[in-house]
Structure 1
Amino acid sequence: MDDFQPATTAEHLLWLLAEHGVEHLFLNPGTDSAPLQEAMATLAKAGVATPKVVICSFESLALAAAHGYWQVTGRPQCVFVHVDVGTQNLGAMMHNMLRDRAGVIIIAGKTPYAEEPGAPGGRSHTIHWQQDVPDQAGVVRGYAKWVMEITRPGMLARAIGRAVQVATGGLPGPAYLMVSRDVLMDPPAPELGRTTRYAVPRPPAADPETVAWIAAKVAAAERPLLITAKVGRRAAGFHAVTRLADLAGVRVIDLAESGCVSISTSHPMNLLPAADAQRAVEEADLIIAVDADAPWIPRFTRPREDATIVHIDLDPLKTSMPMWTFPVDVAVTADGPTALGQIADRLEEMGHTAQERAAEASRAPAAAGDGPITGAEVISALNGLLRPDDLVIEEAVTNARALHDHLERTEPATMFGAGAPGLGWGLAGAVGVSMASPGRRVVSVVGDGGFMFSVPTAALCLAAEAGAPIMAVVLNNDGYRASRLPVFELFPDGLSATRGDAEGTRFSAPPDFAAVARACHAHGETVTDRSELPAALQRGLQAVESGRSAVVDVHILRD
């Protein structure tokens, strides 16, 4: 409304978020959110647009959902949490936001300052002293891109504008704001402040001279190789990688760690089997690493000494990783999709024609056999059911490599992952993707440990509250295989390896995941017989199409 005049700073805050394009407020309420909750009701009655409130019963899931929404749209959403304890519950999802360069605005309450009788919003409970900690922002300071406390109404408009600008631009990341409820209850500043001219920097391009030099190197190389993890998050990156593969015969290692696809899984230059990728690193005379945190693992493979290595990244110095010391000959500060598109354009200008492509390797999962269902069989069943435009979220941990190698994904932006190892993202991240993609079927493939890390009751509640159904396919190998394998690796002759087990990695009394789903008003079923697998997955997809979430718990080979 043009004549909007907020009565409180809380009302002004909600109006500002909407004016800056924030569509959702993921809310985990507490004693400090009361002014916002009243403001939501007041503004709704007055017909003033505000972000849609999505109630979240656990903070980390709110942040994971906002992260998933960012991956699809590139637009930061807002998460509100309760003072220091709510901030602490953001947990590993803050790590994921940092590593995946995902923008979100986190607003945390702050212990009220006022304590005198009658002070609006002042201290009124014991917890207002218990939660008064020396450095609340220190909980996230190592992971947040920007931190600020709003201490008076007059700074609110600038703080929100700056938060959106910083979260979105440059190296995107979380912006963390704090505000106490007594400030939220204050009358707003007389001047509401501007909501425009907080320009977000355009994605940086490589300089023409560097582009020409790289294109010439690609044209002259006998075995050029491109390694990436996240450039395919944007359709422009997917298409640029494909163009380079087609134009210059550039082989592509699309690292599984990001969960996305940067080139079609059916493209013959996509080196999917891990062994092929390892050999390619060792054989390449030119390596272009783009948006990859760890382009190879030196313990297992290294480039040849005479290989030219080009690194393209928004932050090629990787300043948040103190010991990032991969060999690099030319470092380019540029947006990955933009720079690769420039290189492809230059190759076309040079009249470079397509090179002979390498023969495509067989990537079909192993055929079904006797014994327990394998992860590869689940992937094969999904291939028979998923549409090209279905959205897949990956948090399969030790089955991630197999999923990446064998799941058929031929269209850009149809596969997502946390882009970092903070476990527990797979369900709520999928909800965020679903919220940003109405009408699309969203399937999250998770391990049984990851499913429990995801706080499934809270995640399924979030999906229902947001009207964003998902299907979770649980690859259930009855424990923490990811924590068992390092024991065998470091102690190959140890007692654990001899007996084929490791302490603390098996569940003796695991939950019934299908029953958990049903308790949350979702479809749930358990699969132990491979003949029942396709039908169970189909029923799960039908539930999603009807607007209801589903959990298909597939008991796979336990090793």
Structure 2
Amino acid sequence: MSDDANPRGCEPKTGAEALLTGLKTSGVDYLFANAGTDFPPIIEALATLPPGQVAEALTIPHETASVAMAHGYYLVTGRPQAVMVHVNVGLANAAMGVINAASDNVPVVVMSGRTPITERGRPGHRVTPIHYGQEMYDQASLVSDVTKFHYELRYPEQGASLAARAVSLANSEPKGPVYLSLPREPLMEVIETQPLPKSPPPPTTAAHPDPDALAVVAGWIAEAEAPLVLCQRGDPAGRLGEALSAFCNRHGIGVAEPFPLRNVMATNDDAFLGYDVKAAMEGADVVVVLDAGIPWLEAFHAPDEGVKVVHIGADPHFARMPVRSYRCDLAIAADPVAAVEALSAVMKDPDERSRSRREKVSARAQAWRAKALSEAKTGCTTPMTAEWMSRCLSDALDDTAVVFGELGFVPGSMTLAGANRAFNPPHSGGLGWALPAALGAQLADRTRMVVACIGDGSYIFANPVACHQIAEALELPILTIIKNNGMWNAVRRSVINSYPQGAAARANAMPLTSLEPAPDYLKVAEASRAYTERVENGQDLPAALARAMAVIRDERRQAVLDVRVAVSDRN
């Protein structure tokens, strides 16, 4: 729409217009929307206001996909986005995505309509039976336990200021989702009293560490024989990976990424010891837990007595976790990048001890890497192993590509050129995340190759009909790899670990784990004109990947591979 289509000017006249302009002014690029009967004032405002004054509204035909797309968009841009769904039922569908965002400290502005409060006499009053059936006493309770802030719009002139406050709070550390409830009445009501114009409040600045505490950590590291950093995620710009690599290589400190969410280190970095926390912890005498909510499992990997343990992060104790009793000798509230840079500044120049440590760490790094690559090569079988599938995928991608996994790829079998090349779902475990998150990443950067590598069970959870429709409608040609082993293998592994000699482990068919008979997943994708191919022999995978990626590059069309993978007790 041109500006000429808005003859009365750009000043918002209703609550809906104020809300939308407030989001845009606060830096929101996209509104991922799933509409209902609460949306008429939003839709009218979108049609009325000039495009440059509002975030671009995208139709997302399932609520879980909308939140995951905003999640994925943030991971590759660092910019929070907005989601709007309809009343309680839409919010209920979106809740799993909000749980995932909260677990991963991802800022998303989640909004939903609210059933009209009035029955007559006001703009937006009830006009349909569902306006009675959908009302709740406390709609925000669906997400209030996992959001940093929740509030209900009361008056139309609040729209812009509430949107700005929501974005600012979401993007302040520790980051996370926020929620706004939007009744129809204030959205439709005409603004009579214009609020004073104000600039959107910025997010809080990064916290810097206590110098005295840093001096203690520097002293512990200087005297250590085998200091270790454990991390699970970095910043979207990749600054943490760069800072850690420089610092740890200089001082001979190993780095491991247990249960990783967003890869931090390049896999060939001389300080990087891989993803196995048990192997990395062997011999460690100082452990720095850097913004890692779950650095190890207490029952299996707890550090030995005498090991100094430091936790550093915006919220080093992870207050949102009710039970988290990891040992801690020192907790430092600080931005991880600021902490590493400040620690580097106070450390003394490398001495003979640090040079000796560097040689040992480098040897360990090369050893784990060689072992992982060797194991991957042995998996070129029928059916192939997940390690071989991951190795082939890695070889097919360029250094800028990104992969979103969900019980799919094995990061140790891949070559990752730097930070933020591989993303795993939050530890909250809301399945169906990776496919729509990959769509959000593709929306953010259409020049990148973006891959969703997911288990067959996760593919079903992702509402694939909706996701493939989104990919075609918005021209987001991602590559989807379905790691097909015919079951919920994570459930099977959990049963075996809990009852290794039990009846379920000995059964020919373990109850409640099989996905057979499997549907033809490729036909689901073909309904949205995707390129599809089924791969059963490991030797055929490299060529199939090349064909799929050629379609994406040359035709700008999504591609889906159904890859038969062996059942594994590890991945």
Asked if TM exceeds 0.5, the reply is yes
**RMSD (Å) for aligned C-alpha atoms:** 1.9
SS, match of residue 46 in structure 2: helix
Q: Does 1:20 align with 2:26?
A: yes
Give the aligned residue type for 1:150.
Answer: L
Would the aligned equivalents of 1:265 and 1:410 in 2 still touch at CA under 8 Å?
Answer: yes
Question: Who is 1:267 aligned against?
Answer: 269
CA drift at 1:244:
2.5
User: Aligned partners of 2:336 and 2:148: how far apart in 1?
Assistant: 20
Would the aligned equivalents of 1:27 and 1:56 in 2 still touch at CA under 8 Å?
Answer: yes
Question: Which of 146, 150, 155 is the aligned partner of 2:149?
Answer: 146
Question: Who is 2:440 aligned against?
Answer: 432
CA drift at 1:216:
2.4
CA drift at 1:508:
2.2
Structure 1 residues 304-355: Cα deviation after superposition (integer angstroms, max 9, x where no partner): 1111110001112221111111000000001112211221233366789653
Inter-CA distance 273–58: structure 2 relative to 1 (3 Å threshold) = closer
SS, match of residue 13 in structure 1: helix
For structure 2, the residue ranges without an aligned partner over 5 or more in a row are none
For structure 1, the residue ranges without an aligned partner over 5 or more in a row are none
SS, match of residue 247 in structure 1: helix
User: Aligned partners of 2:525 and 2:199: how far apart in 1?
Assistant: 44
Would the aligned equivalents of 2:251 and 2:350 in 1 still touch at CA under 8 Å?
Answer: no
CA drift at 1:83:
0.5
Question: Which of 31, 37, 47 is the aligned partner of 1:41?
Answer: 47
Question: Which of 433, 451, 455 is the aligned partner of 2:459?
Answer: 451
Between the aligned residues of both structures, percent identity stands at 30
Q: Does 1:106 align with 2:105?
A: no
Question: Who is 2:416 aligned against?
Answer: 409
CA drift at 1:392:
1.2
SS, match of residue 26 in structure 1: strand
CA drift at 1:6:
2.6
Structure 1 residues 343-391: Cα deviation after superposition (integer angstroms, max 9, x where no partner): 1233366789653243111120132454311111211211221111111
Inter-CA distance 500–225: structure 2 relative to 1 (3 Å threshold) = farther
Structure 1 residues 392-438: Cα deviation after superposition (integer angstroms, max 9, x where no partner): 1121x2x55xx111111022222223333211101100011111122
Would the aligned equivalents of 2:20 and 2:160 in 1 still touch at CA under 8 Å?
Answer: no
Q: Does 1:278 align with 2:284?
A: no
Task: Point out the more displaced range, 463-472 or 130-139.
Answer: 463-472
Q: Does 1:557 align with 2:559?
A: no
Give the aligned residue type for 2:395.
Answer: G
Question: Who is 1:489 aligned against?
Answer: 497
Structure 1 residues 253-292: Cα deviation after superposition (integer angstroms, max 9, x where no partner): 112331x211111123322262xx3133242110000111
TM-score (norm 2): 0.92
Task: Point out the more displaced range, 446-455 or 261-270.
Answer: 261-270
TM-score (norm 1): 0.94
Question: Who is 1:73 aligned against?
Answer: 77
Would the aligned equivalents of 2:32 and 2:70 in 1 still touch at CA under 8 Å?
Answer: yes
Task: Point out the more displaced range, 495-504 or 70-79.
Answer: 495-504
Q: Report the count of equivalent residues.
A: 549
Would the aligned equivalents of 1:55 and 1:465 in 2 still touch at CA under 8 Å?
Answer: no
SS, match of residue 237 in structure 1: helix
Q: Does 1:249 align with 2:255?
A: no
Structure 1 residues 508-552: Cα deviation after superposition (integer angstroms, max 9, x where no partner): 222211111111122122111223211211122123223221111
Q: Does 1:374 align with 2:385?
A: yes
Structure 1 residues 39-85: Cα deviation after superposition (integer angstroms, max 9, x where no partner): 111114xx552111111110010000001111122211110100000
User: Aligned partners of 2:83 and 2:130: how far apart in 1?
Assistant: 22
| Aligned pairs for 1:44-63 within 5 A | 44=50, 48-63=52-67
User: Aligned partners of 1:515 and 1:306: how far apart in 2?
Assistant: 58
Question: Which of 90, 95, 98 is the aligned partner of 1:94?
Answer: 98
User: Aligned partners of 1:29 and 1:404: how far apart in 2?
Assistant: 38
Would the aligned equivalents of 1:98 and 1:173 in 2 still touch at CA under 8 Å?
Answer: yes
Inter-CA distance 233–306: structure 2 relative to 1 (3 Å threshold) = farther
User: Aligned partners of 2:538 and 2:279: how far apart in 1?
Assistant: 35
Give the aligned residue type for 2:172.
Answer: G
Would the aligned equivalents of 2:95 and 2:142 in 1 still touch at CA under 8 Å?
Answer: no
Give the aligned residue type for 1:40.
Answer: L
CA drift at 1:218:
1.6
User: Aligned partners of 2:436 and 2:341: how far apart in 1?
Assistant: 33
| Aligned pairs for 1:187-226 within 5 A | 187-226=190-229
